[in-house]
Amino acid sequence: MSSAEPLPRHGVIPSYLLARLAESGRFPRAAAAARQTLTAGRPPFRARIDLSIDENGDLVAQLSDAPNRTISDAGNTQQLPGAVVRGEDDAPVDDPAVNEAFDGLGATFEMLLAAFQRNSLDDAGAPLDATVHYGVDYDNAFWDGERMVFGDGDGEVFRGFTGSLTVIGHELAHGVVQHTANLEYQGQPGALNESIADVFGALTEQYAQGQTAAQASWLIGAEIFTEAVQGAALRSMIAPGTAYDDDELGKDPQPDHMSGFVRTTEDNGGVHINSGIPNRAFALFARDLGGNAWERAGTVWYRALTGGLSSTATFTEFADATVAAAVAVDEETAAAARRAWSAVGVYEHERGPGTSE
């Protein structure tokens, strides 16, 4: 991608859901906001010093990687980046959206560092920038290739997007994908792009809350719907297709198995729809292994992403990469990876790298 080309913008709310909402009679304000959102589109190293007291009572200073966050306010315009309202060393402000964005960026940074020893999105301490209050009633949050951007929602269907840690982790994960495999945002590679972002979003929440794979809800965007919507979240990783079922929004269209793979020209070839298949594979894999998902399971997925994966990788190619990464851990982990991909129909009869025909 040349520097003159616009960077891809990955929004957490899929266009098909906004299109459905745009026709709503039950939510007139949300319908108008969805139409406006669809029309608008999506448009230095830092270290910290950790102080502790050693066994001799002496003060010990350790230098470690730290986030470098800047939050800006678009003032309900669509002009980016907006006015800077909080920097890394600033105290919390009166605006909850600013503080939520700041904390969410930090939580994602901490997960990446603790789980994968990755120093920010590019593994070189890249600044974490975000803009809040983008547009009027803007029904989305997105990564524009350089920063996180948050709309406030319409208030009828969607709340402000800064309140969801899984959404923040998801969008920042697009930055990690951009700096690693740079998966094409179309078809199966695009669905993998979305799925890996969901994986990192879920891991960010689980790490922040200290949840095991068994304790986790595996919901993405559980906080963004209002009480008027019949649904728990935007997506469910453990049970794709069950996140919502609303008279106006319709039913969650995600398949949980390759037998339900959706072939469509919309949504960049179904990137937000078919991501349910690898999503379920990861959730099953993490639950099978037990413990904290960001440890063995997350490390396998991260190594597959960063180990030379093609930008046009299919589900099978990514599955092969995860099994190869799992084999490097131990055979128990590899067997669990094969079971997960078999359960969602990417592998047949648990076949995959390292198994006999």
Residues noted as catalytic: 171, 272
Cα 17 from Cα 179, distance rounded (Å): 28
Q: Which residues make beta-bridge pairs with 70?
A: 87, 129
DSSP 161: G
Cα 177 from Cα 231, distance rounded (Å): 29
Helix (H, G, I), strand (E, B) or coil at 295: coil
Strand ordering across the sheet containing 141-143: 10-11, 141-143, 148-150, 128-132, 69-73, 83-87
Cα 175 from Cα 193, distance rounded (Å): 10
- DSSP for 191-225, written as a single string: HHHHHHHHHHHHHHHHHHHT--TTT---EESTTSB
Specify whether the CB–CB gap between 293 and 319 falls below 8 A. no
Specify whether the CB–CB gap between 104 and 168 falls below 8 A. yes
- CA proximity to 221, closest of 125, 336, 313, 141: 141
